């Protein structure tokens, strides 16, 4: 109705943007200029809840205000809609938000189940294998070491004082591909055997001879925690999918259990990997 101002309820994202801007003494108009917005009132509408900024808009705000660390992660998580039953991440800011959520989930995880048909999970990879993959994937040289350190840092999941239980089901292909050459891969296999000996790590392998199992559908990560709802994370080519609905969790848990039934025991798995390592060392 004309003459009556419409009121909006500020969203958590709008409040977070406002707080970050006020903390740095930047006006709404100035922030709009910094992020290249031609509409002078757009930042005001974002903060009031009248409009919702995209993940790319929030990334621009983070860059303009030089926001870092947990504050940046929280803004991206709010923008990406963390907590939705299903969230598909495609853009770089969305992927960063997804990674931030995944790392947060791992920090409180009590159990992590990983089905990995084609590649050894990053938490069990050596630095040389991680580095080789980054090179092959075309990651800029200036970013490789930072990414290697980030992935190595995720080992805290299984080495911290109160570690999570990690249950990994590998496809045979995951240990057959020789990433980085024979010497690098031999080190990787030794490290895999070593990690499998930890009391909180269960490593199982599904050999080619096992036939079909849900493992052939693809990789996924199921994270359980006493402090937060379970989530499933799927790392797709250039994108990612996070699932939270009870139906999705139940379905993936069922697939994990069915795959474990097709897999070798941990002892048989260690012996199998040792045989491949022996053949590799013999040339």
Question: Could you read off the pLDDT of 52-79 as tens digits, one per residue?
Answer: 788 888 889 999 999 988 788 878 877 7
**pLDDT on residue 73:** 80
**How far is it, in rounded angstroms, from Cα 89 to Cα 80?**
8
Pairing assessment for the beta strands 165-171 and 201-206 based on DSSP bridges: parallel
What does the alpha-carbon distance between residue 177 and residue 196 come to, in Å, rounded to a whole number? 19
The structure tokens 């907590």 sit at 83
Residue 263 has pLDDT above 90, yes or no: yes
Q: Which of 3-12, 25-34, 113-122, 137-146 has the highest mean pLDDT?
A: 113-122
- State the pairing for strand pair 231-236/109-116: unpaired
Give dist(CA 234, CA 213) in Å, integer. Answer: 18
Q: What is the CATH number of domain 85-281?
A: 3.30.870
CA distances from 56 to 59, 75, 93 (A): 5, 11, 6
Phi, psi of 242 (to 5 degrees): -115, 130
Q: For residues 25 and 66, is the Cβ–Cβ distance under 8 A?
A: no
Whole-Å CA distances, 150 to 147, 155, 176, 184:
5, 9, 25, 20
Within 80-131, strands assigned E span 86-89, 109-116
Residues 122-161 pLDDT 10s: 999 999 999 999 999 888 999 999 889 888 888 999 999 9
Label residue 211 by pLDDT band (50, 70, 90).
very high
C-alpha to C-alpha distance for 208 and 85, rounded to whole angstroms: 34
Residues of the chain with CATH 1.10.260.40: 11-80
Check residue 198 and give its pLDDT.
Answer: 96
Q: Report the mean per-residue pLDDT for the chain.
A: 87
Query: Could you report the per-residue pLDDT of 216-247, keeping only the tens digit for each?
Result: 999 999 999 988 889 999 887 777 788 888 89
Phi, psi of 150, rounded to the nearest 5 degrees: -65, -45
84 or 164, which is more confident? 164
Lowest mean pLDDT among 19-33, 71-85, 158-172, 235-249: 71-85
Q: For 113-117, 224-228, 253-257, which range has the lowest pLDDT when averaged over its residues?
A: 224-228
3-state secondary structure of 116: strand
Gap between the Cα atoms of 112 and 114, Å rounded: 6
pLDDT band at 4 (very low <50, low <70, confident <90, very high): very low
Whole-number pLDDT of residue 114: 97
Backbone CA torsion sign across 76, 81, 83, 88: negative
**Residue predicted with more confidence, 38 or 101:** 101
Domain with CATH 3.30.870 in the chain: 85-281
Answer yes or no: is pLDDT of 38 > 80: no
Of all residues in the chain, the percent with pLDDT exceeding 70 is: 91
Query: Which has the minimum average pLDDT: 111-120, 133-142, 246-255?
Result: 133-142
User: CATH top-level class for 11-80?
Assistant: mainly alpha
pLDDT-derived band at 259 (thresholds 50, 70, 90) equals very high
Predicted local distance difference test score (pLDDT) of residue 186? 97
Give the contacts of 92 (CB within 8 A, at least 6 positions apart).
59
Mean pLDDT along residues 196-212: 96
**What is the number of other CB atoms lying within 10 angstroms of the CB of residue 281?**
12
């Amino acid at each position: 109705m004309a003459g009556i101002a419409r009121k909006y309820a500020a969203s958590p994202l709008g409040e977070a943007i406002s707080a970050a801007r006020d903390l740095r003494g930047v006006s709404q108009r100035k922030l709009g200029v910094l992020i290249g917005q031609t509409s002078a009132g757009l930042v005001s509408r974002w903060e009031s809840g009248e409009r919702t900024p995209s993940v790319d808009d929030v990334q621009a705000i983070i860059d303009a205000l030089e926001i870092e660390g947990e504050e940046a992660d929280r803004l991206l998580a709010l923008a990406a809609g963390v907590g939705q039953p299903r969230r598909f991440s495609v853009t770089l800011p969305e992927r960063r938000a997804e990674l931030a959520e995944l790392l947060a989930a791992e920090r409180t995880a009590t159990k992590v189940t990983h089905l990995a048909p084609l590649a050894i999970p990053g938490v069990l990879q050596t630095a040389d294998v991680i580095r080789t993959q980054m090179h092959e994937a075309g990651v800029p040289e200036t970013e490789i070491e930072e990414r290697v350190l980030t992935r190595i840092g995720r080992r805290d999941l299984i080495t911290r004082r109160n570690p999570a239980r990690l249950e990994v089901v590998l496809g045979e292909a995951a240990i057959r591909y020789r990433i980085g050459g024979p010497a690098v891969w031999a080190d990787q296999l030794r490290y895999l055997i070593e990690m499998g000996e930890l009391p909180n790590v269960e490593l199982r392998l599904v050999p080619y001879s096992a036939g079909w199992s849900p493992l052939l559908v693809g990789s996924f990560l199921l994270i359980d925690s006493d402090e937060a709802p379970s989530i499933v994370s799927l790392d797709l080519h250039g994108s990612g999918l996070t699932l939270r609905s009870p139906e999705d969790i139940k379905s993936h848990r069922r697939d994990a259990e069915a795959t474990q039934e097709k897999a070798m025991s941990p002892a048989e798995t260690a012996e199998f990997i040792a045989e491949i390592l022996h053949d590799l060392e013999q040339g």
